[in-house]
Amino acid sequence: MSEKLSDIITKLVDQALEGDVKSARLIIERVVPPMRAEAAPIELPGLDQTSSLVSQGQAVMAAAAQGLIPPDTAASLLSGLGSVARLREMEELEQRIAALEQGQSK
């Protein structure tokens, strides 16, 4: 079986090298992973990761308003900040519950 498969692949490569576009396309579709758009890393002036989430959100909005970053990038960043906010809320709730439980066990 593997010998026949090897023969098929060799034949397909030979056809592609001879100019057979269908063979070349089949090889490329199966061997080369599809390209995906990927945003380039950016630096935002005024974005201090130690500042409040509101300040960070304002820095993102200011950068978008000034044309320093595209609107879709700003939306992604704001969505990420929203996720961080939800994680902080959950962490704070866990700490409060743990403190309450400790207080009741005394």
Domain boundaries, the chain: 2-31, 53-105
Lowest average pLDDT, out of 3-7, 25-29, 43-47, goes to 43-47
Residue-averaged pLDDT of the chain = 89
Positive or negative: CA dihedral 67, 73, 79, 80: negative
Span 39-49, mean pLDDT?
A: 79
The per-residue pLDDT for 106 is 65
Q: Tokens for 60, please give them.
A: 């993102």
Per the listing, tokens 């969505």 go with: 79
- Determine the residue type at 87: L
Model confidence at 43: pLDDT above 90:
no
Q: Is the pLDDT of residue 6 over 90?
A: no
